[in-house]
Structure 1
Amino acid sequence: MDVVFVLYDQMTALDIVGPYETLAGHHDVQPLFAAAQVGPVRCDNGLTLHADVGFDDLSTADVLVVPGSSRWLRALDDEQLIAWLAAISPTATWTAAVCTGSTLLAKAGLLTGRPATTHWAVRDALAAHGADVRTERVVVDGDVITAAGVSAGIDMALTLAAILWDEWTAQAIQLALEYDPRPPFDSGSVDKAPADIVAALRNAFTSG
C-alpha cells in the first residue's frame, strides 16, 4: 500500500510527521514523500524533510496525506501543488488532510459540498472554497478524511488505521506511540482558550 505524504515549502512538520509515525510502521505500508521535486523541503519552523519522488513522477496513490501550513495562504497560490492534488486524489482509496491542508483540497475542487474540518482559525476560508465546514476534530466523508489543527493529525491517522486494518491494530499503534494526552493547560480549543490568545492566534493565521 503506497501511502504518499505530500511535502511543500513552508508546510507544518507535525501535520505530516504525526500521521507518518502512526501509519508508516505497518507492514502493509510503503511510505513515500512527494514534492514538486526530489530533495529537501523546508517546513515553516525550519525543520527540513526530504522528498523521495517528484510530483511529475507519481500519478497514483493508495492513500494521500496532505499537511497544512501556518503560511496556508501562500500554499493556496501554489498552482502546481493544487493541480497535482486535483489529479492524484481521484486515484487514491483515501485522501486525508490535516489542519489547513483541507483548504488545499478545497481549492483543488475536492471538497465542494462535502463535510470537512480544519484549523479553527481558517474555517471561514474553507467554507469560502465550497466545503461544508464542521467543527469535529476528525471528519470522515466517503473517501476523504480531514483533521482539525496540527495535533489532530494523529487522531486522524488512528481513525484511518482502524479503517484500513481494524480497531485492534489502531489501538496497538496508539499504545506503541503512548498517545495518551494530558496537557498542562486546558486551552487547546477555541471554545476554552482565553479570548486574548484566541484573538492573537486568529490574527496570525489569517494574515498568512
Structure 2
Amino acid sequence: MKRRTLLRGATALGAAGLAAGAAPHTAAAAPSPRDDGAPFRVHVVLFDGVEELDLSAPYEVLAASDYFTDRSVDVRYVALDGPRTVRAAFGTTLRVDHAWAPEQADLLVVPGGGYARRDDPGVWAEIRRGALPRALAEAPRPGLTISALCTGVMLLSAAGLTRGRPCTTHHRARQDLEEQGGLLKNARVVDDGDLVTAGGVTSGLDLALWLARRELGVDTALGLEAMLEYEARGTVWTARPRPA
C-alpha cells in the first residue's frame, strides 16, 4: 500500500472539515487539473544567498503533494551552474544534484533572498552577474509555468518576464517591480497563467498550495492543508475566468 494512501486516510477528517469552507481566500476557482498520466515535474531554482524559507516551503508542499494525488510528482532543486553546493542566506548549505534544465520541467519555482543586502550573495548579485536572468528569459515555452516568490520575482523582472503582466513580490520590492514594468496586484498570489508570483517570505506556502490546487486538484490542496496544519491565506488574483 502506498504511503500516500495512509496519509489520505489519516487526513480525511481534517480535509473534509476544510472542504466545508473551501478556499474563501481565492478570487476564482482553479481550472481542472491535467489527468493524462504524465508526471508533474517541478524545479526549484537555487543560488547562493537564497532565503531558507523561500526554498524549503514550496519544495516541501509540492513534494508532499505526491501523497494526495495519483499523478506522479517529481520535485528537485536545480542550479544554473549545478550540480554544486549552495550556501543559503543564513548559512545553510545544500547539495544541488541537478543541473539547469527548464525544458524538462512543467513548473519552475524561483525563490528570493538577499535583495536588501546588495553587496552579499543573493538576488542582487545574480542580477548583476546576469547569467540567471538570461537563462530565465530563455526558459519560457508552451507547457511551462514560471513562478517566483518574494524577491525571486525581481529575478523574473530582470529577465523581462514580468513586464506588462500582473504580478506581485515582497512589499519592500513592490515599487521596484512596478517601476520595471510589472502590473502590480495587491494580492498574496497572482496567477497570470504561465506566470505565477507571490508576496513575502511565508507566501511560498500559499504559492505552492495554489499551484497544487491548480495542477493537481482541490482534494490534493485540502489534503496538504490538513497534513501541514496550515490553511492557505490571502487573496489569489487570477486572470482565469470563473467557471459558469
- TM-score by length of structure 2 reads 0.70
Label 1:46 to 1:116 Cα distance change in 2 as closer, same or farther (>3 A).
Answer: same
Q: How does 1:73-152 map to 2 (within 5 A)?
A: 73-90=124-141, 92-152=143-203
CA distance in 2, matches of 1:172, 1:26: 8
Q: CA RMSD in A?
A: 1.8
Q: Which residue, 106, 130, 133 being the options, matches 1:62?
A: 106
Shift of 1:129: 2.0
CA distance in 2, matches of 1:78, 1:29: 32
Tell which has more relative contact order, 1 or 2 (C-alpha 8 A, sep 6+).
2
The DSSP-based 3-state class of the residue aligned with 1:30 is strand
Gaps of 5+ in 2: 1-39, 67-71, 116-122, 233-244
Q: Which runs of 4+ in 1 moved over 3 A?
A: 57-60
Match of 1:7 in 2: 46
Taking only the aligned residue pairs, the percentage that are identical comes to 38
CA distance in 1, matches of 2:222, 2:94: 28
Based on CA coordinates, which of the two structures has the bigger radius of gyration?
A: 2
Label 1:79 to 1:152 Cα distance change in 2 as closer, same or farther (>3 A).
Answer: same
- The C-alpha deviation readout for 1:119-173, integer Å capped at 9, x for no partner, is 0001111112221112211111121111100101100110111100111110111
Contact 2:65 2:212 in 1 (8 A): no
CA distance in 1, matches of 2:106, 2:221: 18
Contact 1:69 1:75 in 2 (8 A): no
Contact 1:24 1:30 in 2 (8 A): yes
1:17 maps to amino acid: S
Q: Which residue, 59, 81, 84 being the options, matches 1:39?
A: 84
2:184 maps to amino acid: V
- TM-score by length of structure 1 reads 0.81
Shift of 1:2: 1.6
Shift of 1:92: 4.8
